[in-house]
Amino acid sequence: MGILGRGPSLPERPTRRDRRRQRARPRPSSAVRRDDERRVQVILRIAIALVAVVVVGIGAFGYYQTSVKPKGESVIRVGDRAFDMGYMERRLRYTIRNANPEDLVLRNANSAVATILQDVSDEELDRRGAAELGISVSEDEIDAEIRLRLRVPETADTSVFAEAYRNEVRQSGLHPSEYREVVAARLLEEKLRQRFRAQIPATTEQIRLRDILVQQTELQKVLDRLKAGEDFAAVASEVSLDTTTKDKGGEMDWQPRGGMPPEAESAVFSLAVGQVSEPVYLSGGYYLYQVLEKAADMQVTSEQSQQIEDQALTNWRSGVAEQFPVVYADNDMQRFQEQINQLGVLATSEGAGVSGGQQ
């Protein structure tokens, strides 16, 4: 100890024994170092793989959201059966491939969407309602119809039919069960039509009319003009939206009892000659009718017979729909059209030439 007190302690110098112990410790060998490097590489690979999985997962989720999920969404429901986007897409492609040049489905996107929705709902209503009438289609009848479509005679070997059938289903774009269901639907509709056709009388009450079709915004103006005494035919020629009668002053052919929608029929058959009906709302707008002639019993023509048959089927389906309601997704048919356009169905349908917008 000095005069200023105890000085700072210094580290002790290693003894000879300590130096010998340090020299005796084993240094890491090259093998040990390689093991450590491999562990680091494995950890890096795992990290990279995890990052890749996350990236792929995000991409897969995006694909699912934009391409897969929409196909599973319900577009239309009839009773308790729902038809999803995937099915509607396949049906639309199938319908376009088999359409004639003048068919409504080839007119534009709106027509295509409306056509396929109507077809699918009508087919399901037929299936539901026909059972209550005791009308059905057997598997043998379906096979016979497919043979007829493929022009494969019954005498042909079963392998010939099987091969033609497989090719047809493959080209249709439908699942095998869906293809058979479409074929069965056509047969079922024809059986229903036969039932209604057999009930058409040879003669019936008929009426000859003029009509004016307008939208609600113009309805009151037209009513005011007719009440003021303007000629019905002149007003029809000027404002009617019914392109089939407008150029004839609204004049229609003879209408048989049972050939008009029930709402229109109940409004006009009780009127006297010269009277004008109250507005009747039908698909397309509001109709006004003027009675020109009436006949208590008149021969039903072949064209009128077809008209009565079509209307009978429509009326029957409306009754079935009260028991099995037809509901569109979001109550908006536009949604289906937007989904169809997003999936490019109309643009990619072979040989269709369907426009994506209205014409």
- Best CA proximity match to 137, nearest among 192, 91, 174: 192
Per-residue pLDDT for 276 more than 80? yes
Phi, psi of 234 (to 5 degrees): -65, -40
Beta strands in the chain (DSSP E): 74-78, 81-84, 203-214, 255-256, 280-282, 285-299, 326-328
pLDDT, position 100: 84
Same fold flag, 73-198+316-348 and 203-299? no
Q: What is the DSSP letter of 105?
A: G
Domain ranges of the chain: 73-198+316-348, 203-299
Task: Tell me if 120 sits within 8 A of 83, measured CB to CB.
Answer: yes
Residue written as token pair 């109309």: 346
Read off the pLDDT of residues 123-153 as tens digits, 9 standing for 90 and up.
999 999 999 999 999 999 999 999 999 999 9
- Cα dist from 295 to 98, 125, 233, whole Å: 43, 35, 21
> 73-198+316-348 in CATH: which number?
1.10.4030
How many residues in total does the chain contain?
359
Per-residue pLDDT for 328 more than 90? no
Distance CA 34, CA 39 (A): 9
Tell me, rounded to whole angstroms, the distance of Cα 68 from its chain centroid: 16
Read off the pLDDT of residues 2-27 as tens digits, 9 standing for 90 and up.
444 444 444 555 566 655 555 555 55
Flag whether the pTM goes above 0.75.
no
Put the strands of the sheet holding 326-328 in their side by side order.
Answer: 81-84, 74-78, 326-328
Domain 203-299 fold is Chitinase A; domain 3 (3.10.50)
Q: What is the DSSP letter of 100?
A: -
Distance CA 209, CA 288 (A): 10
Average model confidence (pLDDT) across the chain: 82
